[in-house]
Amino acid sequence: MAQPSQEHIEALKAQLRGRLLQPQDSGYDEARRIWNAMIDRRPPLIVQAAGTADVIATVNFARDNGVLLSIRGGGHNIGGLAICEDGMVLDLSQMKSVRIDPHAQRGYVEPGATLRDFDHEAQAFGLATPLGINSTTGVAGLTLGGGFGWLSRKFGTTVDNLVSAQVVTADGKLVRASADENADLFWALRGGGGNFGVVTMFEFRLHPVGPMVYGGLIVYPLEQAATVLPAYRELFKSMPDELTVWVVLRQAPPLPFLPPEVHGKPVAILAICYIGPPDKGPELVEPLRKLGTPYGEHVGPMPLAAWQQAFDPLLTPGARNYWKSHNFAGLDDGLITMLIEQIGKLPSPQCEIFIGAMGGQTNRVAVDATAYCSRDANFIMNLHGRWDAPADDDKCISWAREVFRAAGPYALGSVYVNFLTQEESDRVGAAYGPNYDRLVEVKRRYDPSNLFRHNHNINPAA
């Protein structure tokens, strides 16, 4: 990167309400640490913004000094795009405000807020919007990539519920993007990632959900998966939008409702969330209980906020992570057979295959309504390689790549951009499909010099 003078750095520091960190400063190592422990970068400058004025000052500094800029929200992105090696990081993690208007059913969320922060405020009023499944995930990155979770079959993707955004653009101006203002930018933000500016406030449409839902886990032996998964596939076709059931294939974690002798055995887990009246949950879930003979289950009424944190213990920060992902219209027999075989070859007890069920409202939105375009995806598979020791890098990465390759013939060819690793720049076009050319045009208008490029980049010169 260009090397700004210490004089220019001190001038920037004087403009900030937040902190500017350099490698010699206390707190620097903590500030550069993110969720995926494979990412170990040492940016020369980290700005911990305290508000929109700090964001504007940092964007202007990076642009005027020719400095590579990366943007950190929750720091949860698998590719570690929040942290650049030879540039400056705009760290938004201190901007964590969440304000709920229960009468208008709107949520106003700053870019450093996590799902846990959002749930804490929104569920106080029995309100929610579709977000992810890990409470430490940042709202900003999840949203800008499209976003989906337990509520999506009923209410659509996260971006289908975005009403407006306050955005600092590459020229250092603050603009509002909505259906009525800067509509082209608003369209692009809804799935186009951090390519178009820095969002300093998200406005979401909220829905009455919770505080109690009906859900939990049913854990089947992997030996039964060859019958359980095709039967699940058939049940999926008639499930109401309020019911979401995802599949997790992995070794059984030490869940308290499982006998100790089951821990570590390969299993097929059905993860269930029903957001309709909880008293109707047992009737809807009963067919899922009868697909085989489970090792155990823990299903019943629970707070939505607690369910949103159910997978947190399997996704704690500090482990090494590598993902590969495909979208599917359906779960073909050949795909199911291959995935079951691969669970017998896990290179680490933390590795898993996660299949998120979409459909419902996510399929009813037009492909060109938002930048997120995978409206034909009924299932999104994430091959989640996860381990602790650097010595295991090769075998765990190779496993994920091999399963990805074997699943390719059954896939749609599209991909969820938030599941892309940094090395997969060749798949950015696949993430946006028929919307890619329009995204390039919006990029040319709002960021012609590609200041915001440390991301899954939409190059304005494409």
281, pLDDT greater than 90: yes
The DSSP-derived string for 414-433 is: ---GGG--TT-GGGHHHHHG
Q: What is the pTM of this model?
A: 0.96
Query: Residue 5 — pLDDT band, cuts 50, 70, 90?
Result: confident
Q: Residue 462 domain-assigned?
A: no
Number of structural domains in the chain: 3
How far apart are the C-alpha atoms of 83 and 331, rounded to whole Å?
36
> Are residues 253 and 330 both part of a single domain?
yes
Q: Kindly report, residue by residue over 383-416, the tens digit of the pLDDT.
A: 999 999 999 999 999 999 999 999 999 999 999 9
108, pLDDT greater than 70: yes
Phi, psi torsion values for 388, nearest 5 degrees: -110, -40
Q: How many residues would you count in the chain?
A: 462
> Are residues 171 and 273 both part of a single domain?
no
Dihedral class, residue 147 (left if φ above 0, else alpha if ψ from -120 to 50, else beta)? left
Q: Kindly report, residue by residue over 154-191, the tens digit of the pLDDT.
A: 999 999 999 999 999 999 999 999 999 999 999 999 99
> Are residues 103 and 85 both part of a single domain?
no
Dmax (CA) of the chain:
70
283 burial type by CB count under 10 A (0-12 exposed, 13-18 middle, 19+ buried): exposed
Averaged over 123-152, what is the pLDDT? Answer: 96
Q: Identify the pLDDT of residue 1.
A: 58
8 Å CB contact between 89 and 82: yes
458, pLDDT greater than 80: yes
| Residue matched to tokens 């449409």 | 205
> Are residues 224 and 201 both part of a single domain?
no
Residue that wins the pLDDT comparison between 133 and 443: 443
The DSSP-derived string for 306-329 is: HHTTTTGGGS-TTSEEEEEEEEES
Q: Residue 408 domain-assigned?
A: yes
Say which residues have a Cβ less than 8 Å from residue 78's Cβ, sequence separation at least 6.
36, 321, 322, 323, 418, 419, 420, 421
Query: Residue 314 — pLDDT band, cuts 50, 70, 90?
Result: confident
238, pLDDT greater than 80: yes
Taking alpha carbons only, the member of 317, 277, 308, 357 closest to residue 118 is: 308
Q: Kindly report, residue by residue over 355-370, the tens digit of the pLDDT.
A: 999 999 999 999 999 9
How far apart are the C-alpha atoms of 146 and 117, rounded to whole Å?
19
Q: Is 98 helix (H, G, I), strand (E, B) or coil?
A: strand
How far apart are the C-alpha atoms of 23 and 44, rounded to whole Å?
6
Strand-strand pairing, 19-21 and 45-48: antiparallel
Q: Residue 285 domain-assigned?
A: yes
Q: Residue 425 domain-assigned?
A: no
Averaged over 312-335, what is the pLDDT? Answer: 95
293, pLDDT greater than 70: yes
Taking alpha carbons only, the member of 419, 406, 403, 462 closest to residue 438 is: 462
Strand-strand pairing, 266-274 and 243-251: antiparallel
Q: Residue 158 domain-assigned?
A: yes
> Are residues 52 and 116 both part of a single domain?
no
> Are residues 245 and 113 both part of a single domain?
no
Handedness of CA 129, 158, 455, 392 (dihedral sign): positive
> Are residues 301 and 175 both part of a single domain?
no
Q: Identify the pLDDT of residue 47.
A: 98
Q: Residue 296: what residue type? A: G
371 burial type by CB count under 10 A (0-12 exposed, 13-18 middle, 19+ buried): buried
Instruction: Encode 194-205: b = buried (16+ Cβ within 10 Å), e = exposed.
Output: bbbbbbbbbbbb
How far apart are the C-alpha atoms of 322 and 104, rounded to whole Å?
41
Structural domain range at position 79: 6-91
259 burial type by CB count under 10 A (0-12 exposed, 13-18 middle, 19+ buried): exposed
Q: Identify the pLDDT of residue 405.
A: 97
**Domain termination site, one of 59, 91, 123:** 91
CA 154 vs CA 129, 216, 273, 275, 360: distances in Å: 10, 18, 11, 9, 6
How far apart are the C-alpha atoms of 253 and 142, rounded to whole Å?
26
Averaged over 437-458, what is the pLDDT? Answer: 98
Instruction: Name the average pLDDT for the chain.
Output: 96
> Are residues 282 and 364 both part of a single domain?
yes
93, pLDDT greater than 90: yes
Structure tokens at 25: 């400063």
Query: Residue 462 — pLDDT band, cuts 50, 70, 90?
Result: confident
Q: Is 128 helix (H, G, I), strand (E, B) or coil?
A: strand
**Domain termination site, one of 76, 91, 106:** 91
Averaged over 14-34, what is the pLDDT? Answer: 97
**Domain termination site, one of 48, 67, 91:** 91
- HEC string of 141-192 equals HHHHCCCCCCCHHHHCCCHHHEEEEEEECCCCCEEEEECCCCHHHHHHHCCC
CA 73 vs CA 19, 60, 191, 371, 453: distances in Å: 16, 19, 16, 20, 16
* Cross-strand partners of 273: 215, 244
Query: Residue 3 — pLDDT band, cuts 50, 70, 90?
Result: confident
Q: Residue 314 domain-assigned?
A: yes
